[in-house]
Chain A
Amino acid sequence: MSANRISPNGPPKVGVYICHCGINIAGKVNIAETVEFAGKLPFVTVAREYKFMCSDPGQDLIQQDIRDGKVNRVVVASCSPLMHEGTFRRAMSKADGNPFLFQMANIREHVSWVTSAKEPATVKAKALIAAAVRRVTLHQPLERKSVPVKPDVLIVGGGISGIQAALTLADSGKKVFLVEREPTIGGHMAKFDKTFPTLDCAACILTPKMSSVRAHPNITLWTYSEVIGVEGYVGNFKVKVKRKPRYVIEELCVGCLECIEACIYKKGRVDDEFNVGLSKRKPIYIPFPQATPLVAIIDKESCLEFKHNRCKKFCVDSCERKAIDLNQKEEIKEIDVGAIILATGFKTFDAKRISRYGYRKYPNVYSSLEIERMVNASGPTGGEVKLKDGNAPKAVGIVHCVGSRDNKTNRYCSRVCCMYSLKLAHLIKERTGAEVYNFYIDMRTPGKGYEEFYERLLEENVHFIRGRVAEVTDWAMTPQEEGRLIIRAEDTLVGTVRRIPVDMVVLSVGLEAQPDADDVRRLFNISCSAEGWFLERHPKLAPVSTFTEGVFLAGACQGPKDIPDCVAQAGAAAAEAMALIDRGHVELEPNTAFIVEELCSGCKTCIAMCPYSAISFVTEKKTAAINGALCKGCGTCVAACPSGALQQNLFTDEQIFDEIKGVLTYV
């Protein structure tokens, strides 16, 4: 017997507890046979089964056996350790057992749910249980290290989700750093005119929140800034933020617009990003009247002075407050935060990708985001819906599911398009009196007041045609179609192909992950789904947590969402961050590496292996030493150590070798 099998509480007495999980496990794994098998494994003193091990009576079984001295190590064969490891470790602690003399065998996610036949499922379950039993006999009692949590929070993204999370946290007294990469906060919501289904004005409900962010003593707002580095761990993140130069001193600028007036360009020359290219702006500009902060910015790419160094710089002279600083440099800020909330939002689908809908080919085919700007009173047309020739359209077609529910682009439903299409249909009809045709696959209106809004539109005599649009064309087949855009679609309710001539087409584009979502997730060490949405820890029960402790999600960066859902999720993320910070400390997993000095030959192999520089060389002793506070427990150094002097708690060589033996020896 290995010396390590004798621990302070005597030789191993392993209790094996096999969970039925209702029929989730018991429906596939022969429980009686498995219990009998487990009972015969070495060091096993107790083998039991129970319908739901995670329930209180299930946990009581374990605790009673520990208290009775029948077992001092525990194997629970049930679901994934990622699910209930914490539950059972806590149960052991309550019975004064060391929570690390514990191992789980995953016989649900890895066995009963993925295996078709009963017999092989039972064999596999037995093998995993045997592996866990062998390994747990070598476990050592361990202590968790408690470290204090930094009290501040970083929020990345200043759309409605980031704004809501920031205000919630700031109101509770937490210091918040809100980082936004655009020159203003507000995100997509700031671009909308009205919001469904209540038709309240987006600006009226958003801008008070934006100014609260600006004015809040607990919020540090960094716009035109990006997070460029994240180090550390839950409760103790070190974050680097790059503040890009806007060439206007934020503290001095009052947003008077004099400089913009004075610019040598008398008219806008550059596509205005805020109006999605429907208007032009000058090189010095303020994105929109309610921009927050209301501070001008110079676009280096189009500014004459930056391009040719020969501008008369009227802007500089026009500013009485001397706020324009053409020599401004980027600044790197370093902050310490305890929690991070990602609220980086989405981008709209690029309608050019579906060429048969004629976007950018026919001038009067618009994306829904362009129409949002067009119907907005502060937008490029002052709220008028008009064609390129300046006339109002007499008929408008709205094409749903552009870049959603489509095997060629995105398979998922973007959730918001049906509702915003209804809203746009209403607004277009209200502004122009045009006939409006909605082409839909299914109307999806789940939400408070949503179905009622759909019914209202039906009563407003908006037309609904059920069928995916085949194409938008200008190829007229009748004199009435001449000079117009024709939408061709199968009307699946009537069972015929229809050609509807219209003057304007609105493509209801879906939502996609941000193009740089992959870089962002790497920066924050989280995962993405296949579509690029940030992956939540659990789709139902941990929807705002990630697999990286201390990093939370809010809003559409996690998946398509409408404004009410974004706001709700932002509140949830803020609450999670608050819970972490108010707890004041975090307990770290003890699965860190340690060194057996007498075995260390001082070869220094491990030092270069460590990504966290946690290993140093002690010259006097000629051995390596590990800084436990820096070690994150990956075990890379352990695998590299040629003399076996490095070991990892909970993953020692001995434990893993025994686990391998266990998984192969008995069945």
Chain B
Amino acid sequence: MSDDRSNQTFEPRIVAFFCNWCTYTAADLAGTARMQYAPNVRVLRIMCSGRLDPQFVLAAFREGADGVLIGGCHPGDCHYQEGNYKALRRTILLKRLLGDLGIEEGRFRLEWIAASEGDKVQRTINEITETVRQLGPLRLEPKAESRFGTAVLEEAETASLVEEERL
């Protein structure tokens, strides 16, 4: 790797989207229990993982995230009945798209974490941080980067449209 930031000192920046009811609460619990974990994941709160627009993930990578983590309630536990299933369906498609863009699989992760699983927040964050650290900084081809704003996003939209139609 010829990046000026060598893997030894490379501190990845990872954006997480946690649902309000399960995973965000679990992260609060990890805090209350003083569970120490890697400082690399920055958590944004959404009400439900079902609110996750695949574009948020693309935007995070575009803005410089080296990894993206999604946290939702376990299957069957969604506060809004089934938002997590919808998130799951969207991410399956999104993963393929990320692969096409040359974004390695390990940079994106969806995890079900219940409100009581503070330890799982700790474990998941440590794991994704280590995986992304190993992968090194995300380097999008300049061409691909410029495509993000237009063609790729349109592609994502079409893809999500197709997916919704199928449901």
Mark A residues whose CB is within 8 Å of B. 80-83, 106, 108-111, 113-117, 120-121, 123-124, 127-128, 131, 522, 525, 527-530, 535, 547-548, 591, 603, 605, 608-609, 611, 632-636, 638-640, 642, 648, 651, 653, 656-657, 659-661, 663-665
Contact = CB atoms under 8 A, between A and B. Distances in A.
A213 B90 CA distance: 51
A422 to B, nearest CB: 32
B140 to A, nearest CB: 14
A456 B59 CA distance: 70
B86 A609 contact: yes
Contacts of B35: 114
A82 B24 contact: yes
Contact of B81 (A611, A635, A639): A611
17 contacts: A108-B31, A113-B34, A114-B31, A114-B39, A605-B161, A609-B167, A635-B46, A635-B48, A635-B51, A642-B157, A642-B160, A651-B47, A656-B56, A660-B15, A663-B44, A664-B42, A665-B64
B44 A659 contact: yes
Contacts of B27: 109-110
B44 A639 contact: no
A633 B47 contact: yes
Lowest 6 CB-CB distances: which A-B pairs, in order? Answer: A109-B31, A635-B51, A636-B50, A634-B80, A120-B39, A634-B48
A639 B115 contact: no
A636 B83 contact: yes
A40 B118 CA distance: 34
Nearest to A519: B76
Interface of B: 11, 13, 15, 20-22, 24-25, 27-28, 30-32, 34-37, 39-40, 42-48, 50-53, 55-56, 59-60, 63-65, 76-77, 79-83, 86, 90, 114-117, 122, 157-158, 160-161, 164-165, 167
Given A639-B90, A664-B63, A131 B42 contact: yes
Contact of B51 (A80, A120, A121, A634): A634
A254 B32 CA distance: 55
Contacts of A636: 48, 50-51, 80, 83, 86
A660 B44 contact: yes
| Main SS at interface, chain A | helix
Nearest to A667: B13
A123 B27 CA distance: 18
Nearest to A611: B81
Contacts of B83: 611, 634-636
B54 to A, nearest CB: 8
A634 B50 contact: yes
A648 B51 contact: yes
Nearest to B63: A664
A640 to B, nearest CB: 5
Contacts of A109: 27-28, 30-32
Contacts of B167: 608-609
Contacts of B43: 106, 110, 128
Given A114-B34, A611-B80, A636-B83, A82 B51 contact: no
A525 B79 contact: yes
Contacts of B21: 527, 547
A659 B44 CA distance: 8
Contact of B47 (A123, A547, A634): A634
Contacts of B164: 605, 608-609, 640, 642
Contacts of A642: 157-158, 160-161, 164
Contacts of A633: 47
Nearest to B36: A116
B77 A663 contact: no
Nearest to A657: B59
Contact of B116 (A124, A530, A660): A530
Contacts of B42: 124, 127-128, 131, 663-664
A656 B58 CA distance: 12
Given A115-B37, A656-B44, 19 more contacts: A80-B24, A83-B28, A109-B32, A114-B34, A530-B116, A547-B25, A591-B47, A605-B161, A605-B164, A632-B80, A634-B83, A635-B48, A640-B164, A642-B157, A642-B161, A651-B47, A656-B46, A663-B44, A664-B63
A76 to B, nearest CB: 14
Contact of B56 (A111, A120, A657): A657
A664 B15 contact: yes
A591 B79 CA distance: 15
Contacts of B114: 527-528
A104 to B, nearest CB: 9
Nearest to B22: A527
A591 B48 CA distance: 12
Contacts of B117: 530
Contacts of A547: 21, 25, 79, 115
Nearest to B45: A81
Nearest to B39: A120
Contact of A651 (B46, B115, B165): B46
A664 B65 contact: yes
Contact of A527 (B31, B46, B80, B115): B115
Contact of B64 (A128, A535, A603, A664): A664
B162 to A, nearest CB: 10
Given A527-B22, A657-B59, A535 B47 contact: no
Contacts of B59: 657, 660-661
Among B13, B31, B48, the one with the most A-chain Cβ atoms within 10 Å of its Cβ is: B31
Contact of A653 (B31, B34, B53, B122): B53
B28 A80 contact: yes
Nearest to B21: A547
Nearest to A528: B116
A635 B56 contact: no
Contacts of A527: 21-22, 25, 77, 114-116
A527 to B, nearest CB: 4
Contacts of B65: 660, 664
Contact of A123 (B39, B115, B122): B39
Contacts of B82: 611
A411 to B, nearest CB: 13
Contact of A535 (B32, B39, B53, B116): B116
Contacts of B11: 120
B116 A639 contact: no
B154 to A, nearest CB: 10
A525 B48 CA distance: 14
Contacts of B161: 603, 605, 642
Given A522-B76, A609-B164, A638 B53 contact: yes
Contact of A639 (B13, B37, B51, B76): B51
